[in-house]
Amino acid sequence: MPVQGRTRKQLRQGVGRNLGVLKVGTATGGTNNTLIDVNTFRGGDDTYNGKIILVTDADDGTTQTTQYVNDYTASNNTIQFQQNASFTVANNDTYEIWDDIHHPDTINDLINDAIDDCVGRFYDPLEYPDETTSTSNTANIALFADNKSLRYDVPSTVSIINNLFYRSKVTSTSLHLCNTEFDTNVNSTIDASVDTEDKKQGTGSAKFVTTSADGGDIAGDTFTSKDISKYNYLECWVKSTIGTSAGNLKIHLHSAAITEGIANSGSLEALEIPALTADTWTYVRMELANPEKDTAIIAIALEHDANLANCQIRLDDIKVVQSDTAVWEVLPRHVWKTQKGSRQIVLTDSGRLQAGYSMLKIEGGSKPSTLSADTDTCTVDSSYVINYATALAFGSTSGGAGTDPDQKREQFAFYLGLAEAAKQAWGFIVNGRVVE
C-alpha cells in the first residue's frame, strides 16, 4: 500500500485544492495586524474580505494565527486582520486563504475523521519490544514468559497481533542471580535481604526495604570481574510496591565497589529503570551506554535517584545480552489467543511449555495516530485521507434536497468513491488478532 507520509499541512492544502476554496502564498512583509504579498495578490479592493487567512511564522515553522480578513487594499497588496496576531508577519511567512465556508480547523478535524475511519483496515506496523529505539517504554519494557503464567497484558501501543515469537537463544552473561543479598555500601535507609517467596527465577529475589530513602541512596554488591564489552543491553526483573517514573530507580555497574559518590557522578553504567506499575513484576531492558569500557565490571548497585516514599523494591535475574544474536521462534497460533476485554495474550498450557522461560516479541500494529500539528506526518495513504476528507467537507455544506445548486452531494459521492477505491487497494489484513 502506498504511504506518502505527508504532513497535516500538505493534506489540508490537498483538500482545499479539491474543494476549490484555497489560495496559498508567501508574505513579503506585514505587521501583527497585516500581511503583504506584492507577488501574488490579485483583484481590486476588498477582494479577500471575509475570507479566513492562516499564517505560519517562518522563524519556527509552528507558530500560527488564524484570522478573518477585515479589509484588503489593492494599491499596496495588503490584507488587514480582524484582530492582532501574536507575532509580526514578516518576509517568507507562509499563508493560506480559505473561503469562509470551510474553516481550516474544520478541515483538520475532517482529516482526523478520515484517519479514524480506516482503523480495522489499516494499522501502523510495529514490533514490541521496539529495538530501533532506546528512549521509550516500547524499547525498555518487554513481555517475558516465566514458564508459569498463562496470561500476559498486551502493551497499550499494540492494537493487533500478527505473530507472537519467543526468544529461544541469545548470547548473555549473568551478572547477579539475586539469590544472595546485596551487602556492599548499603545505606542505612535501605534494608537488603533475599526473598525466597516473591521471585521470578532461581531460589530468591533481591529485596530492598526502604525507609525515608533520599535521592542518591544505594545498595550495592560485588562479584568476580566480568568483561561485558560485547553486550549491549542489561535485562532483569523489577518489582516495586509503589508506582515509579522512569529514572526514579537506577542500576549502576562499575569496575570498583560502588559508593554514593561513584553512583552520583562516576559509574561506568548508570541505567535508568523505566516507569513501573505498583506491585507488578516487570521485565526491563536498558541499553548499555559505554559497553566498550565495560571490560572489568565487578560491582552493581541499585540507586534511589528520587526521594521515593517508603517502599519495597525487588530485583531478579540480572544479566547482559547481545541483542543481535537473538534467535526468535514463532509461537504457533493454536497455542495462544487474544482476549479483547482484558487486552491480554492467553497461552494454552502447551504454549506455556513451548515458550518456557524466554522473552516474547509481538509483531503487529497500532492504530494510526491522528494529527495535532501541521508538522505531524500521516502514516495512512494520503490519497485516501485527502479524498475522504474532501467528501466529508462537500457533504457538510451540501444543504437539503432543494438547496444544492453547486451539486455538492454529487461531489461528495465522487470523492467518497475515490477514497473507497484507495482503501480497496490496501487489500485485507490476514492472520491478525485484534486486542481492542
pLDDT at 222: 98
Name the fold adopted by 126-364: Jelly Rolls (2.60.120)
Strands 311-330 and 233-240: antiparallel
pLDDT at 1: 47
Question: pTM score > 0.85 for this model?
Answer: no
Query: What percentage of the chain exceeds 90 in pLDDT?
Result: 85
**CA neighbours closer than 13 Å in the CB half-sphere of residue 316:** 22
The whole-number pLDDT of residue 215 equals 82
Q: Which ranges in the chain are annotated with CATH 2.60.40?
A: 22-100
Structure confidence at residue 401 (pLDDT): 63
Tally of residues, the chain = 436
Residues of the chain with CATH 2.60.120.260: 126-364
pLDDT digits (tens, 9 = 90+) for 141-184: 899 999 999 999 999 999 999 999 999 999 999 999 999 999 99
Q: What is the pLDDT of residues 128-150, one digit of tens each?
A: 997 765 444 445 889 999 999 99
3-state secondary structure of 291: helix
What is residue 89's predicted lDDT score, i.e. its pLDDT?
A: 98
Task: Please name every residue paired with 122 in a beta bridge, in sequence order, or none if there are none.
Answer: 119
Interaxial angle between packed helices 382-396 and 8-19, expressed in degrees from 0 to 180 and rounded to the nearest 10: 50
Cell of 434: 485484534
Q: Which of 314, 336, 341, 33 is nearest to 181 (CA)?
A: 314
Q: In the prediction, which pLDDT does 405 show?
A: 65
Q: Which residues of 31-52 are buried (b: 16+ CB within 10 A; e: fewer)?
A: eebbbbbeeebeeeeeebeebb
The pLDDT assigned to 133 comes to: 54
- Mean pLDDT by runs of 10 across the 436 residues of the chain is 78 97 97 97 96 97 96 98 97 97 97 94 90 58 94 94 97 98 94 97 96 86 98 97 94 97 93 96 96 98 87 97 96 96 95 97 94 96 96 87 74 94 86 89
| Residue 106 CA: distances (Å) to CA of 136, 214, 361, 396 | 33, 51, 40, 10
Cell digits of residue 318: 540480572
pLDDT for 159: 94
Which CATH number does 22-100 carry? 2.60.40
